[in-house]
Amino acid sequence: MQQQTLPVKMEDLDGPESNEWIETLTEDPVLDGPEAKQILGERLYPLIEVEQGALAGKITGMLLHGLDNSELVALIDDQAALQSKIQEALAVLKACVCVCVCVYA
């Protein structure tokens, strides 16, 4: 019989056990897919938005696409590591803008 998952709302993840629950995302094969990425993205976005405002969506998407779930969970708990990844993403965006400007100038 196939196991069903229930929709998860962010308010369900805001208690003291929220980080413990999120860590199970990397262990539960049912939640190791788009649902897990969605939940992790919803946790990362506000952390990134505080620092980067309008670029938060783009940076969050880059991190979700480029990192596996265990790395994303680590970023939620480690502000210094998150800042490092944000800086890497900004460097990639800056390089892309420079290439685009040079090509289309």
Give which of 85, 94, 22 is closest to 51, Cα–Cα. Answer: 85
Tell me what the mean pLDDT of segment 1-23 comes to.
Answer: 47
Which pLDDT does position 29 carry in this prediction?
56
Structure tokens that stand for 12 in this block: 């369900």
- pLDDT for the residue 34: 81
For the segment 38-67, what is each residue's pLDDT rounded down to a tens digit? 999 999 999 999 999 999 999 999 999 999
pLDDT interval class at 80 (50, 70, 90): very high
CATH number of the domain enclosing 39:
1.10.1900.10
pLDDT of 11 reads 47
- Amino acid code (one letter) for 24: T
Distance CA 21, CA 28 (A): 10
Report the candidate in 67, 65, 78 with the shortest Cα–Cα distance to residue 26: 67
Residue 4: inside a domain: no
At position 12, the amino acid (one-letter code) is D
pLDDT of amino acid 74: 93
Domain range for 50 is: 12-104
- Nearest CA among 57, 63, 61 for reference residue 83: 63
The C-alpha atoms of residue 77 and residue 32 are separated, in whole angstroms, by 19
Per the domain annotation, does 6 fall within a domain? no
